[in-house]
Structure 1
Amino acid sequence: MKKYVLALVTAAAVVAAALIPSGPPVEAATAGFGSAVSAIKQTSWQTNNSVNALAISGNTVFAGGLFTRIRQPGKPAGQGEAVRTYIAAFDRTTGAPTAFAPTLNGPVYSIATSPDGKWVVIGGDFTTVNGIKRSKIAMFSVVTGRLVAAWDPVVSARVKALAISGSSVYIGGAFGRIDGAVRNHLGAVRLIYGDLLPWNPNANDDVYAIDVADNGSRVFVGGPFSRLNGNDHYSLAMTNTTTGAAYSFPAALAIPKPTATCTTRVKDIDTLGDKVFVSNGGDGSGCYDGVLAAQISTGKLLWKNNCLGATEAIKAIGNWVYKGSHAHNCSDSGAFPDGTGTHYLLVESAIDGRIGPWFPNTDADQASTTKVGPLAMAGTSTDLWVGGDFLNVNGKAQRGLTRFTNAPGGSGPAVPRAPVLTASTAGRVYVKFADSYDLDNLSLTYNVFRGSTNVASAKYVSYFWEPRKAYTVVNRGLKRGSTYSFHIEVHDGRNIRRGPSASVRIP
C-alpha cells in the first residue's frame, strides 16, 4: 500500500475557520442529518394566504391565519383548492387536510390544544363560527371537530396568544375585558366550562405570546407591554398560575428597554422541561432580535443569541431550538455575517444557543401584511411544521405551510469539485481540494481516492455560507512516468457524494 500523509490546511481555510463558533458541533442525532429533523421539505398542502398559528394534537395539526383556501401540493393558485376559512386541520403523517372545516368570519391568530388531546381552542378577530356568535375565541372537540356549544367566553378584542394547562385556558391579546370583567390584555377561563378565572396579570399593552411550564408551575407572557399590575416588567414576565402575580425573573433583564432609536419586544415563547425559550424582534438598526433561554426553576439566564433579524417563532425539540426569523447577521453569535442573504429558518443548540446544522430556507411574501416569512411553528420529537407568509420553501413553490420530519437520509452534501493535482519528481502528488457543505450537517467526512484506493480520510466542519476552505493531501511513493487519477467523496453519515476525477502524470 502506498504511503500517504494529510497536509496542513491552507491559509484560506484558516481565515474561514474563524467564522466557526468555538467547540465541536453536536454530532448527528440520526445518520444523515445533525438535528432532530432534516432540511428536506416533506409533502404538505398549501394555503392562499398567511398562516399565523399552529398547534398539534395527536396525529392532527391545526393551522390558523388569514387564508380562505387550501390547495394541493405543487399546484398553483386557483388549482386543486378546497375552502377553509381561516382555520384548517391536517394529517401529521401525510400532510393532507382532514374534514375539519368550520366557517369563521375573521382571521385566526392563536391556537392551543389540551394536553389530554380532547380540545382545541382558537383565538383571533372572528365574531361568528358556523354562523354562531363567538367573540374572538372558540373551542372544538378534536375527535368530532364540532364547536363546543356551551363554551362561549366573550373577549372584547383580538386574541393573539393561547396556552392550556390543567383546567385553565390562558389568553393574551389586545382586549380589555373578558365576559364584561376588566382583564387588560391577559386573562384565563376554565377549560371545560369557559367561565372566568381570577388570573389577572393586568398588562398595560398587548400580549403576543403565552406558554406554561411543562410542570404547570409558571405562566410566561411576552409582548410590547412594560408593566404588569402597575409594576415594571418589560416585555417578558413569569407569573403565578392562579393569581397572575409576577415572580422575580432575572432573565427578563436580558431584553433591553426601549430607547429613542430601538424597541424590542417578545414575539414567541416555548417551554421544554426546566427551560423556557424566548424569541424577540426589534425596530431600529441593531436592535435585539435574538433568542434567549432561561431556567424555569430559578429564573436565571442560561444563554442569549444575538442574531439580527426579528425572530417571529420558535419551537424546542430535544436539544434544539428551531427558529423562524429573517436573520441576516449572526456574526455576534459566531455564525454568518451580513451580506450572506436572509436565513429564514435556523436551529440553535438548546444548550448554549450556537447555530446548529439545519439550513432549509423560505422567502417572505412582499405583498403580505407581515412580509417576514415564517410566523408560527409546532412540532414533536419526529416532525416540525412551519407556517407563515412565505411563497417558496427550499427554492420551490410552497405557500403558507410546510413540514420537516426525521425521515432518514437528510439533504446530502453538495457534490465536491475535482481536485487540483500537482506532481513532483520525488513520486509525490499533492491533492488540493475544496470542502463541501450540507444543509443539515456541519461535520462531513472527506475521502480522497486514487483510482479505487482510499488514500486519506478526514472530518471537517463547514457552513454553507462560508467561503470554501481548501485542504491538501500528499500521496507519496508513486511511480515516475505513471499517470494517476484522483477524486473526492464526501460522506455525511448516510449520503455519499462523489466528485469528478482529475489526472496527473508523475514527471
Structure 2
Amino acid sequence: MPSFNGAVLSIAYAKNVVYVGGDFTAAIVNGKPVARGRLAAMDARTGALLPWAPVADGRVKALVVSGSSAYLAGDFTTVGGQKRDSLARVDLADGALHSTFKHAVSGRPMAAFAAHGRLYVGGTITAVDGQPRTRLAAFSLSSGKLDAGWRPTADDQVETIAAGGGRIYVGGKFHKINGLPGYDRLAALDPAGAAVVAGFKPRPPVITYALAVTGDAVFSAHGGQGGRVSRYTPDGALKWSATFDGDAQAVTVLGDSVYAGGHFDRACSTARTGSQGACVDGSDNRIKLAALSAADGHLLDWTADANGVEGVLALAGSAKLGKVGMGGAFTTVEGRQQKRFAQFSA
C-alpha cells in the first residue's frame, strides 16, 4: 500500500477499491511522491495507487461512498478547482465533480453517513443554504437537495454518525437532542422524521468519537480519562466495555472481531484508570490499535503496533475482501515504515 505525506482521516471500501481522504497532498509510491489533493484511491487487493484523483483545497474529514459517487465533507472551499463549501459529490469512475451537490454551509461538517436515500451530516453546523440547522442536517442522495424534514438539534458538536436497524445513531459532545435532556453523547434518531428513539438512552460518561453498527449491536469509541470501546444493545443496555490508557478514536467491526484505534499504548485489565488515564490493575501492550471479541469484549492476541502521538484516526472494514484499513498520523506499523495508511487481512 502507498504511504501519504499527511494524515488519513476517512476510509471507505467499495468493490475492490479503498478510498481515503485527509490532509495529505501526495501519496508515496516506491519512495516517490505522487500528487493527490487530499483524496486518493487504491486497489485493495494489490495495493496499487489508482488514477482517481479529485483535488480538494482543504481537509477532507469524511468520505462516504454510495452508488456511483463519493460524498465529501470537510474544511475545503474548492474541489476540482470549482467552489464547494465544505460538502461535495464526485464520481467514483473518474473523480468528476457533480453539479447536484452544492451548498453554503455555516459551521464545520465533521461526520457523514449514507442511508435511507439520504446523506446525514453532523458537526458544528448552524445553517445550510441560509436555512437553520443545529449541528445535524440531511441531503437527498438523488437530487442533492437539503432535506427539509430531517431537522434534529444537538446542543454540542456531533463527531460521528452511523446507521443500522432502521435508526440513525449520532455521537459526540452533546447532552441534549431535540431539546431533550438525558441523551448525553450518544443517541438514536428516526431516519425520516428525526424523532429521538426514546428506548435508546445509554448515556456514556465521556465523548463519543466513532460508531460502528451491526444488526444487533452498537459499538462506540470514546475518549476521557483513558479511552474505551463499548458495545450497547439496541435498547441502550451496556453489554461490555474495554478500557485503554488513551482515547479510542476509531472503531470498526469485521466478522467476530471489533477493531479499535486511537492514541493509546495499553489495553487495561480493568476499567480503573489513574493519572492521565494510566491503567491501574495491569495491562497488555496495544500500541494505537487493538482487536476485541465482538461477543464479550475480551482482548484478542492480534497486535499491529503503530506509532505517533495522535495514532489511529480512522478504521474501515470490507467483509467482501476480508480487509481492515487504518488511517491516521502514524509513520510505522509493526516496526516497518508505513506512513498514515495501512491495510490488514482479517
TM-score using structure 1 length: 0.63
Q: 1:359–1:337: structure 2 CA closer, same or farther, 3 Å change rule?
A: farther
- For residues 375-398 of structure 1, give each alpha carbon's deviation from its aligned partner in whole angstroms, at most 9, with x where no partner exists: 001111200000000010111111
Q: Residue 268 of structure 2 aligns with which residue?
A: 330
State the Cα distance separating 1:358 from its structure 2 match: 1.2
Q: 1:251–1:394: structure 2 CA closer, same or farther, 3 Å change rule?
A: farther
Q: State the SS of the aligned residue for 2:263.
A: strand
Unmatched 5+ stretches in structure 1: 1-43, 257-263, 365-370, 407-507
State the Cα distance separating 1:341 from its structure 2 match: 5.1
State the Cα distance separating 1:182 from its structure 2 match: 0.8
TM-score using structure 2 length: 0.92
Looking at structure 2, the residues matched to 326 and 397 of structure 1 have their Cα atoms a distance apart, in angstroms, of 18
Residues 269 and 283 in structure 2, CA contact (< 8 A), matched pair in contact too: no
- Please give the residue correspondences for 1:55-454 in structure 2 after superposition, counting only pairs within 5 Å: 55-73=12-30, 75=31, 80-114=32-66, 117-197=67-147, 198-213=149-164, 215=165, 217-232=166-181, 233-250=183-200, 252-253=202-203, 255-256=204-205, 264-282=206-224, 287=225, 289-296=227-234, 298-327=235-264, 328-332=266-270, 343-364=287-308, 371-381=309-319, 382-406=322-346
Q: 1:355–1:145: structure 2 CA closer, same or farther, 3 Å change rule?
A: same
Looking at structure 2, the residues matched to 336 and 372 of structure 1 have their Cα atoms a distance apart, in angstroms, of 22
Looking at structure 2, the residues matched to 243 and 166 of structure 1 have their Cα atoms a distance apart, in angstroms, of 12
RMSD: 1.9
Unmatched 5+ stretches in structure 2: 273-278
Q: Residue 45 of structure 1 aligns with which residue?
A: 2
Residues 73 and 112 in structure 2, CA contact (< 8 A), matched pair in contact too: yes
Q: 1:121–1:91: structure 2 CA closer, same or farther, 3 Å change rule?
A: same
- For residues 75-99 of structure 1, give each alpha carbon's deviation from its aligned partner in whole angstroms, at most 9, with x where no partner exists: 2xxxx11111111111111112111
Q: Residue 275 of structure 2 aligns with which residue?
A: none
Residues 289 and 304 in structure 2, CA contact (< 8 A), matched pair in contact too: yes
- For residues 461-505 of structure 1, give each alpha carbon's deviation from its aligned partner in whole angstroms, at most 9, with x where no partner exists: xxxxxxxxxxxxxxxxxxxxxxxxxxxxxxxxxxxxxxxxxxxxx
- For residues 284-328 of structure 1, give each alpha carbon's deviation from its aligned partner in whole angstroms, at most 9, with x where no partner exists: xxx2521111222x3332222233311010110111100102332
Residues 268 and 283 in structure 2, CA contact (< 8 A), matched pair in contact too: no
Residues 266 and 280 in structure 1, CA contact (< 8 A), matched pair in contact too: yes
State the Cα distance separating 1:337 from its structure 2 match: 5.7
2:69 partner letter: W
Looking at structure 1, the residues matched to 284 and 242 of structure 2 have their Cα atoms a distance apart, in angstroms, of 18
Residues 176 and 185 in structure 1, CA contact (< 8 A), matched pair in contact too: yes
Q: State the SS of the aligned residue for 1:332.
A: coil
Looking at structure 1, the residues matched to 282 and 61 of structure 2 have their Cα atoms a distance apart, in angstroms, of 32
Looking at structure 2, the residues matched to 61 and 336 of structure 1 have their Cα atoms a distance apart, in angstroms, of 39
Q: Which gives a bigger RCO, structure 1 or 2 (Cα 8 Å, sep 6+)? A: 1
Looking at structure 2, the residues matched to 121 and 150 of structure 1 have their Cα atoms a distance apart, in angstroms, of 11
Q: State the SS of the aligned residue for 1:121.
A: strand
Q: State the SS of the aligned residue for 2:46.
A: coil
Q: State the SS of the aligned residue for 2:243.
A: coil
State the Cα distance separating 1:234 from its structure 2 match: 1.1
Looking at structure 1, the residues matched to 283 and 68 of structure 2 have their Cα atoms a distance apart, in angstroms, of 47
1:65 partner letter: G
Structure ranking higher in strand proportion: 2
- For residues 207-235 of structure 1, give each alpha carbon's deviation from its aligned partner in whole angstroms, at most 9, with x where no partner exists: 1100000x4x1000011111112112211
Looking at structure 1, the residues matched to 262 and 302 of structure 2 have their Cα atoms a distance apart, in angstroms, of 14
State the Cα distance separating 1:338 from its structure 2 match: 5.5
Looking at structure 2, the residues matched to 137 and 402 of structure 1 have their Cα atoms a distance apart, in angstroms, of 26
1:302 partner letter: K
Looking at structure 2, the residues matched to 229 and 273 of structure 1 have their Cα atoms a distance apart, in angstroms, of 26
% identical equivalent positions: 31
2:175 partner letter: S
Count of residues paired in the alignment: 335
Residues 52 and 93 in structure 2, CA contact (< 8 A), matched pair in contact too: no
Looking at structure 2, the residues matched to 271 and 168 of structure 1 have their Cα atoms a distance apart, in angstroms, of 17
